[in-house]
Amino acid sequence: FMGPNSVGVAEGAKWKGLRTAIGKSLKPKYIRSLYSDMRECTKSIVQWLNEKAKEKSIKVDDGEESGNMNGVIVDVAQFLHALTLDIVCMTVFQEKLGAIAAIEKGKPDEVVAAFRYASDEMARRCSSTNPLDWMYWLSARPKQRKLNHANSIIRDRVEKVIERRLKRGFLDSDDDLLHHMLVEAKNKLKPKGEKNNNSVSKTDFKDPSVSNVIIDNVITMMWAGHDTTAAGLSFCLYRMSVHQDVQKRLREEIIQCKSDNGIPSQDPLPHELVMKLPFLNAVVMETLRLHPPALWTQRGMTQDVTLYNETRDKSVTIPYGSNVFLPIYAVHHSESNWENPEKFTPERFLDKDGNQDNSKYHPFAFVPFGGGNRVCPGQTLAQFEFKTILSTLVEHFHFSPVKSPEPKGDYHQPTIKSCGMFQDCVDNLLHITSI
């Protein structure tokens, strides 16, 4: 699905080169420059939801809001996947994919649907005991044909968007992923002894050895960059719909920040202030603790490694060739690391004065993006995007749970779908009312 040239499966010098190129495109300065684009994308969803909310009046009674008001019941997972996909495409090649526009027209974008199917099918195969599921060349099988079709939809759209980006041309100062990937691929293929050249043109992309590397890694970034953030936001909105006190406190923090800085209520907060909101950060961190983007990760040992305890009187050696699994979900839900680990308590990341406090937990008790050299390269972008979208939505809408049709159920429960090492929050129906 991601291709043999993806940074997700590359090793050694090849991985290092790709990781460097991706790191250059995800520098904090460039990510901050995307704030207005992220706000514009989110604003499109805000306008769409406002129009939907005007269509009918719904009854809300969740302890914080009650009575009849304009609102709508929406599966938030659907529009979040479209929103995050358009945003990550702005990061990759400075152009929206059109996923939000498709939602506004009343139908999900085919690329979003293709990504969802491919993710689900990969997850199914990862846990399958049927050897035929591991033979991807058996294209005559119905599920393989469907997977091939999904891959074709994604790759065709990516190639078209890249072609338009190439036609617009490049400047040496461009910081998007496509530019850095082209430079990296081009310089890897240069004759020995020739100096690196940061200038690229559309002719560089015609070399299949260059274009295949670019496409594989663009798809990797599109998939990893939108799927996990959308899932985290979906989990977060559900948690806050149930925990109305958290939602209310977050909204009040945003309003108070505007008041303290003399910002009109209708104007957006600048990114410098959004990223410094302590309770917003705590809500995001608590969501990532309870629902980490990856449930686990693994490393293959390239040499013998000896681990010692704190007093260094005991040790264990992990031999070369071993696979080591880090069960992120288990670490995040362990009573050894967290008090009342199953409770949604953002305050655990704050001190008594309401400021961020990371001293309460071991650094590796909270690893939603992994750690070490192979830590997720998109973690800064993901958290920046998460906070931008969440703060905008909470400022404009009130979210409340949908009453369950089940006699014994209090609220409609979203479906938590495990996609191999990843998880998603789908069928997440919430009452959304305009503020």
Q: Using an 8 Å Cβ cutoff, are 94 and 165 in contact?
A: yes
User: Which DSSP category does 348 fall into?
Assistant: G
Length of the chain: 435
Q: Quickly tell me which residue has 């790191």 as its tokens.
A: 23
Q: Quickly tell me which residue has 């967290």 as its tokens.
A: 338
Q: Which residues pair with 424 in a beta bridge?
A: 417
Cα separations in angstroms, 104 against 44, 94, 112, 179, 316: 9, 21, 14, 30, 57
- Is 126 annotated among the ligand-binding residues? no
Helices and strands (H and E) in the chain: how many? 14, 10
* Cα distance between residue 110 and residue 43, in whole Å: 22
Enter the tokens of residue 432.
């959304």
Q: Using an 8 Å Cβ cutoff, are 60 and 69 in contact?
A: yes
Q: Parallel, antiparallel, or unpaired for β 397-401 and 305-308?
A: unpaired
Q: Using an 8 Å Cβ cutoff, are 75 and 428 in contact?
A: yes
What's the angle, vertex CA 41, arms to CA 225 and CA 111, rounded to 5? Answer: 50
* Cα distance between residue 18 and residue 20, in whole Å: 5
Cα separations in angstroms, 285 against 8, 146, 346, 368: 24, 37, 7, 9
In the chain, the N- to C-terminal Cα span, in Å, equals: 42
* Cα distance between residue 244 and residue 257, in whole Å: 20
Cα separations in angstroms, 342 against 287, 289, 328, 334, 346: 11, 10, 14, 9, 12
Residues of each annotated binding site: 376
Residues of each annotated binding site for heme: 376
